[in-house]
Structure 1
């Protein structure tokens, strides 16, 4: 109840100070949501300065602005892919799609092996003999899907 009494007695200035505190906390505790709550607090303070609003209305403005801005930020940040200098990290099999290889073990009952770089990979595809050239067309986890060439 002390927070409500403080806001009721100090009105817009309490929101402005709270917004600045939330912005400062965002520097210490990164994550993004305190930024939007701080901006919502400052906007709530500015609205209360320009138009007298009771404390329940101020809390409503702050809550709606916080939730909407955080939801929009999360949606926007999830929609854009993270840029990286190593796009195939933790997805090594995707790196080989489109490449050609020679079977080191025949594909029998749907599975065989190829050597790519310094690694032996399990492959799946139609039955083929040792030494046959294959093209990698996809992957199922760590198993490369292949098709025969020629």
Structure 2
């Protein structure tokens, strides 16, 4: 009942202040949702300044504006693809495709080992002796696929 009394006393300004408080809370609790509820609060206040709907209608306006703005933000942010100067940063196996290296261990029954950088990788391919020069052509999970180069 105190909220209703507050809204009745301060009207549109209570919505604008509440919206600003929600925007300030976004700085403390990041995630993006409070931005859009804050914007909805400010817009509800501006609508209430122009027209004086009863308080249940004001809450309805606030709820609808919040939902619409959050759903629009989710839709836009999910469809956005971020450009990267290093698109293979977290795909180590894909970074090695096309490189050539020398087998540390022979490939027996299709599997062996190969040192690349600071890691020893499991490799698959045709049976080959140790010391054979190979080219990495792909990956299956953490197993590099190789062929003779």
Return the TM-score normalized by structure 1.
0.82
Equivalent position of 2:146 in the other structure: 146
TM-aligned CA deviation for residue 111 of structure 1: 1.3
Quick check: 1:113 aligned with 2:113? yes
Superposition map of 1:69-148 within 5 A: 69-82=69-82, 88-148=88-148
Cα deviation for residue 87 of structure 1 reads 5.2
CA distance in 2 between partners of 1:14 and 1:52 (Å): 13
Cα distance in 2 for partners of 1:147, 1:64 equals 59
Partner Cα separation in structure 2 for residue 127 and residue 2 of structure 1: 79
User: 1: distance between equivalents of 2:125 and 2:5?
Assistant: 72
The corresponding residue for 1:68 is: 68
TM-score, with structure 2 as normaliser: 0.82
Tell me by how many angstroms 1:16 deviates.
0.7
Q: CA RMSD in A?
A: 2.3
Alignment deviations for residues 123-146 of structure 1 (CA, whole Å, 9 cap, x no partner): 122322323322222223322122
**Partner residue, 1:45:** 45
CA distance in 1, matches of 2:4, 2:144: 62
Say whether 1:34 aligns with 2:34: yes
Distance (Å, rounded) in 2 between the aligned partners of 1:72 and 1:134: 50
What is the CA–CA distance in structure 2 between the aligned matches of 1:136 and 1:79, rounded to whole Å?
A: 33
Distance 1:17 1:59 in 2: 15
